Amino acid sequence: MKWRQLLVLTAVRAARIAHGQTLEDVLTSQAATLSTLNSWLLSEELIFEVMSNAQGITLLAPSNNAISQLYNTALATQLATDPNLLTAFLSYHVLNGVYQMSDFTSNRLGSFPTFMNMAGYSNVSGGQTIETLSENGAVTFITGNGAETNVETYDFKYAGGTLHIIDSVLTIPGSVTDTLLSGGRTAAVGALRRAGIEDALNAASDVTIFVPTNDAFNAIGSTVNSMTLEQLTQVLNYHIIQGKVLYSQLISGGSEATREGNSINFRLGGGSLFVNSARIVDSDILVGNGVVHVVDNVLNPSNTTATPVTTASTQAPAFDGATTTTGGVPFTSAVVTTTTTSTSTHTGTATATASATGATSSGDPSALDSAAADTTIRAVVALGGVRAGWTVFWASCLAAAGDGWLGAGRVSALAMCASLASLWYL
Ligand SMILES: *[C@@H]1O[C@H](CO)[C@@H](O)[C@H](O)[C@H]1NC(C)=O
Ligand SMILES: *[C@@H]1O[C@H](CO)[C@@H](O)[C@H](O)[C@H]1NC(C)=O
C-alpha cells in the first residue's frame, strides 16, 4: 500500500471512531437488498473507506433489483463510456443534506437538492433536485421524465449521514426539448423553434416554464398561425419565468414576472392550480435547467386579467375570437416525437405524464475498459484538483485502479471515485 493511501485511511478511521455506525455496518446488515452495491464497494477497500468518509449526505442506494434492471439498459452502455455522465448519475443519488423519512413525509410534495451540479447536466442553482411525493406514509421520488422510484426501506443512519434503499435508479432530468418531446408536447417545441428561442431556453439557468398542451395550441390555431415571429416570441416568453425554479408546492397564489415583461397570476381553486385562466394539468416535470408545468390554455400577455371558472373542466381560450383551423395542430408538422408516453397521476391536482426513457439495447457497465477508466479519472480530476485532500484522494484512486479492479466491481469502484470526487469538488 502506498503512503498516500495510508494517509487517507488514517483520516477516515479517525472519523469512524468518532461517529459510531459506519456505512459498512449498514451495508452488511442489509445484505438481502444491498449485496450487489456492497460487493461493488467491498471489491476495493480504499473506495469503500473514502465513501464512508463523506459527511452530511443522504445516500439513495439502489437495491439489487434496481441495479440488475440497469444492466439491461442503454443507460448502462452510456455510463460505461461517458465518464461525465457517470459522475452526474452518481452524484444525483446523493442528497445534499441529511434527510430522514420524516423529512419526506412531512409534506405531500417536496424537492430536495442533490450533488449533481455539473453544467452539462444541471443548470439549477444549488444542484438539481429530486421531487418527493408522500402518500399514506409511502414516499416516491420523482425524477427526469416523471420517472418514479419508490423507497423500500429507510433511515439507516451512519457516521456520514443516512441511507435509504430505492427500487430503481434515478433518471437525470433531460433538456427542455427532450423532455417535452418525450411527453408529446410537439406544438410547444414547434412554436419555440418557429420563434427561434428553443436553444436559448435550453441553455438558460433556473427556469420555470408553463407549457400549453397540443389541444391548447389547437384551440387558438387561427390566432397563432397569423402571428408575426415577434408576437409569437412575446406569447412564448410570457410562459417563462427566468431565475426562479417554482415547484408546484411553492405556488399558492400571487403573481410572478415573466420573461415577456408582464406578470402571470396564480390561483388555487377546485382542487387545481391555475395560471391566469389556464389549469395546470401536469405539474413538476423536472428538466435540466428547472421545472415544467403543463397548462391547458395558451397564456396571452395582452390578457393578464383572464380568470378561470374553477368549477368548469375546461376554460375559454385567453385569445378573444380564436378558433381551431382545419390545418391540424399548429407548429407540429416538422416536430417528430420518438418515444411513447404513459400517464400516471402522482400529483393529484395535476396529473403527470411519465415516459419511458427508451432504454432497450443491452449493455453492461462492467464493459468499462481501462481506457475509459483513465478517461473517467482524468475527467473528474479536470473538474477541480484544487481542493485540499483531493489530489491525495485521486492518487489513491489511480493506484487502486492500477491494482486491477475486475468486472462490475471495477466499474463500481470507478463510479464511487467519480461520485466522491464530485462531493469533494462541490
Ligand atoms: C447549461 O447551460 C450551458 C450553458 O448555457 C448549456 O450549454 C448546457 O446545455 C445547459 N445544461 C442543462 C442541463 O441545462
Ligand atoms: C381574455 O380571456 C378570457 C378567458 O379567460 C376570454 O374570455 C377573453 O375573450 C379574453 N380577452 C381578450 C381581449 O383576449
Buried b (16+ CB within 10 A) or exposed e, 77-107: bebbbbbbbbbbbbbbbbbbeebebebbbee
Checking if the pLDDT of 161 tops 90, the result is yes
What was the pLDDT predicted at 206?
98
Out of 303, 307, 310, give the residue to mutate to test ligand 2, the one with the largest number of ligand atoms within 8 Å of its CB. Answer: 303
Q: State mean pLDDT over 148-158.
A: 95
Q: Single out the residue of 233, 209, 218 nearest to residue 186, CA to CA.
A: 218
Q: Single out the residue of 92, 87, 45, 47 nearest to residue 380, CA to CA.
A: 87
Predicted confidence band at 20 (pLDDT cuts at 50, 70, 90)?
confident
pTM for this predicted structure: 0.78
What was the pLDDT predicted at 338?
60
Q: State mean pLDDT over 208-230.
A: 97
Read off the C-alpha cell for 168: 430503481
Q: What is the C-alpha separation between 380 and 383, in angstroms, rounded?
A: 5
Mean pLDDT is lowest, of 32-41, 103-112, 159-168, 241-250, for 32-41
404: left (phi over 0), alpha (psi -120 to 50) or beta: left
Q: State mean pLDDT over 9-33.
A: 68
Checking if the pLDDT of 408 tops 80, the result is no
Q: Pick the atom of ligand 1 nearest to 121's CA.
A: 13
Buried b (16+ CB within 10 A) or exposed e, 227-247: beeeebbbbbbbbbbbeebbb
Checking if the pLDDT of 56 tops 80, the result is yes
Calculate how far, in angstroms, residue 222's C-alpha sits from the geometric centre of ligand 1. 35
Predicted confidence band at 381 (pLDDT cuts at 50, 70, 90)?
very low
What was the pLDDT predicted at 391?
44
Cα–Cα separations (whole angstroms), residue 311 to 259, 295, 318, 327, 358 = 30, 16, 17, 32, 38
CATH topology of domain 176-355: FAS1 domain (2.30.180)
What residue type is 283 in one-letter code? S
What was the pLDDT predicted at 339?
52
What was the pLDDT predicted at 179?
98
Calculate how far, in angstroms, residue 203's C-alpha sits from the geometric centre of ligand 1. 4
Domain ranges of the chain: 3-171+372-425, 176-355
Beta-sheet strands, E only, within 55-128: 57-62, 94-96, 109-113
Which residue's alpha carbon is nearest to atom 3 within ligand 2?
318
Q: State mean pLDDT over 49-70.
A: 83
Region 3-171+372-425: CATH code: 2.30.180.10
Are 3-171+372-425 and 176-355 the same fold in CATH?
yes
In what side-by-side order are the strands of the sheet with 263-269? Answer: 240-242, 207-212, 290-295, 278-287, 272-275, 263-269, 255-257
What is the CB < 6 Å shell around ligand 1?
119-123, 203, 288-289
Which of 329 and 374 is assigned the larger pLDDT?
A: 329
Calculate how far, in angstroms, residue 205's C-alpha sits from the geometric centre of ligand 1. 7
Give the residue carrying C-alpha cell 411519465. 354
Checking if the pLDDT of 419 tops 80, the result is no
Cα–Cα separations (whole angstroms), residue 227 to 191, 221, 232, 262, 334 = 11, 10, 6, 19, 18
- 310 in contact with ligand 2, CB cutoff 6 A: no
Cβ count within 10 A of residue 392: 15
pLDDT in tens, 234-269: 999 999 999 999 999 999 999 999 999 999 999 999
% of the chain residues with pLDDT over 70: 71
| Angle (nearest 5°) at CA 424 between 206 and 377 | 100
Q: Which range among 30-34, 192-196, 334-338 has the greatest average pLDDT? A: 192-196
What was the pLDDT predicted at 21?
86
What was the pLDDT predicted at 386?
29
Q: Single out the residue of 347, 341, 328 nearest to residue 132, CA to CA.
A: 347
Q: State mean pLDDT over 132-159.
A: 95
What was the pLDDT predicted at 336?
79
Which of 10 and 161 is assigned the larger pLDDT?
A: 161
- 395 in contact with ligand 2, CB cutoff 6 A: no
What was the pLDDT predicted at 357?
31
Q: What is the C-alpha separation between 285 and 46, in angstroms, rounded?
A: 38
Checking if the pLDDT of 358 tops 70, the result is no
Mean pLDDT is lowest, of 43-57, 82-96, 241-255, 361-375, for 361-375
* C-alpha R_g of the chain: 23
Calculate how far, in angstroms, residue 235's C-alpha sits from the geometric centre of ligand 1. 24
Mean pLDDT is lowest, of 196-210, 235-249, 319-333, for 319-333
Q: What is the C-alpha separation between 278 and 63, in angstroms, rounded?
A: 41
Out of 85, 114, 123, 201, give the residue to mutate to test ligand 1, the one with the largest number of ligand atoms within 8 Å of its CB. Answer: 123
What residue type is 140 in one-letter code? T
What was the pLDDT predicted at 420?
55
With beta carbons less than 8 A apart as the criterion, state whether 278 and 299 touch.
Answer: yes
Calculate how far, in angstroms, residue 306's C-alpha sits from the geometric centre of ligand 2. 6
Ligand closest to 302 (CA) is 2
Cβ count within 10 A of residue 170: 22
Q: Single out the residue of 226, 228, 315, 325 nearest to residue 269, CA to CA.
A: 315
Read off the C-alpha cell for 43: 471489491
Out of 122, 202, 205, give the residue to mutate to test ligand 1, the one with the largest number of ligand atoms within 8 Å of its CB. Answer: 202
With beta carbons less than 8 A apart as the criterion, state whether 409 and 43 touch.
Answer: yes
What was the pLDDT predicted at 162?
94
Checking if the pLDDT of 382 tops 50, the result is no
Q: State mean pLDDT over 406-418.
A: 48
Checking if the pLDDT of 210 tops 70, the result is yes
Checking if the pLDDT of 422 tops 90, the result is no
Which residue's alpha carbon is nearest to atom 7 within ligand 1?
203
Which residue's alpha carbon is nearest to atom 6 within ligand 2?
318
Cα–Cα separations (whole angstroms), residue 358 to 72, 182, 341, 354 = 12, 9, 10, 12
pLDDT in tens, 277-298: 999 999 999 999 999 999 999 9
Checking if the pLDDT of 302 tops 80, the result is yes
- 316 in contact with ligand 2, CB cutoff 6 A: yes
What was the pLDDT predicted at 4?
37
Mean pLDDT is lowest, of 59-63, 144-148, 405-409, for 405-409
Predicted confidence band at 27 (pLDDT cuts at 50, 70, 90)?
confident
Q: What is the C-alpha separation between 380 and 374, in angstroms, rounded?
A: 10
Q: Pick the atom of ligand 2 nearest to 277's CA.
A: 5
Which of 263 and 336 is assigned the larger pLDDT?
A: 263
